[in-house]
Structure 1
Amino acid sequence: MFGPCPYGKAKGVSDSHGETIVVPAEELTEESTDAIQLFLNEIRQYPLLTKQEEILLSKRIEQGDLEAKERMINSNLRLVVSIAKKYQGHELALLDLIQEGILGLIRASEKFDYRKGFKFSTYATFWIRQAIQRGVENKSRTIRIPVHIAQRERKIVRATRQLATDLGREPTDAEVAVATELEVGDVEEARKSARAVTSLDKPVGEEGETAFGDLLASDEPSPYEEVQETLREETVHRALGKLPEREREVVKLRFGMGGDEPTPLRETGRRLGISPERVRQIEAHALKSLSNEGELESLLAA
């Protein structure tokens, strides 16, 4: 339930969970509130999917089944609304935020790989947030980007998305440069130009207490990093669960699981009461087992 609206006049509409979404006064028109309510009423008819249903739909989507893609998207529209609500007051009207989020959801349905064992909603959250944030950023730009830089930026964005999907992590500038056939300096310049066109001190948010720069890179994890970390943790947990307890302990220490630094052979042996050579043997056997199970790549990327 949303609290008092800081804009004065406001009108509430009920979302798919029966909660009230407060529409700010400047967005308040009969047409807009009717459109929002109509959309929320529409998405109620689409039931949430089970994990098995997600897998079956994903297989059909890979084969070009548009009906399966439509069902996957429609069944996750609640997620779009849930995320879009958090960005109210950031330059875009709620309907526009939802529309941007749907574009991200569509992209997620096209890129989702059910074989990795992750929930679709976890994966889609990154794409939805990214699409909404990009919409907010584009709305907030105060300086026109030169055409050649804009074209280069789009090329870099496309390559970054593809590499993130392929690698399971955010690609480096060098990797993006190879994929786009650009110099590393060009990639860095384009990204700096994209950030520079927005006034970082421009107030946004419901009460204007947040600067737009707060939406850009910081020491805090980005939505992308948060989702990727969740995916990595799920992968590692699943991989380690297949190992005997002693092998699991060795791998955790050697690879620095749980936020710790990787532990040298000798220190690992000291902690477990075994020789460094025995540690090496156990580690080798564990990695061979994970490799046979197809889990080694996921573990090494964690």
Structure 2
Amino acid sequence: MGLYAEQIAQTPLLDIHRERLLAQHMLAGKMARQNLHSRAAISEAERCELETQQHQGERARQDLVLANLRLVFSVARRYQSLGLPTEDLVQEGMAGLLQAVEKYDWRRGTKFSTYAVWWIRQAVTRALSNQSRTIRLPSYRVEQLSKIYQTRDRLSQRLGRDPSTEEIAESLSWAAEQVSYALRLGDMQAASLNAPVAGDGDDKSEWTLMNRLSDTHAAEPVDQAYRSLLYEALNRELAHLDRREAEILRLRFGLGGGHEHTLSEIGKHVGLTRERVRQIQKEALAKLMAAPGLTRRYDPE
């Protein structure tokens, strides 16, 4: 991967005029391809001309991609140490670059490299938020963690030791609590909804808590330790939810002194299908597991 990256770095950059020319050839190639497929009667001379334009468009697309591969590696390096191998980050970034190539409109006056970086970053952060964490983190949280880790590494090299949370926050001009909270989210594996729990009754197989709470056939109650955690956390953190989400969780877990309700009972109460109630419950629990109170619950002493 390192040698490949070095070879890519040697590919000459494009100026904005060359970018626009390649984009124009790409558009002409697309139109030529459409004409070749849509027009029934076409002369041999026209066919040759359209095929030439199509090939020029394909070559222009290839040139635009190759000249901007360095952007993919540059963005991928920014997001190392966040849970995905560099190779996976590069692959996701490539998907973003290809999408940028397809959507680029030179007539807007934007330089392609500027436009492409946005798409590459979106693809990488989306992959990280979906794949790297047991609990899915929003893309903006992944972006925050990337900045924090980069700053921490830079300060470590300068100071010769691990920087404190306050030093990282000062360097970023952020509040120390903001940095601390983001780092807790990054390390929140122990509090995961995907943590294994034992089966109920004679079922000794391992499930995950999220499976238990989303499985319409799962036996009640869930493991008592996790039930206690949920009771404590839900009562404290319902302010993070909208009214319907909070009501569904109160009914589901018997909060506020009531008894626990099945998904079907809740559906009848709120006028929704059982499946929709299950979906809302799952989404609401995911929100709560990312709330500050829950991360504090699992902070090491």
User: TM-score, normalised to structure 2's length?
Assistant: 0.37
Structure label with greater radius of gyration: 2
More helix by share: 2
User: TM-score, normalised to structure 1's length?
Assistant: 0.37
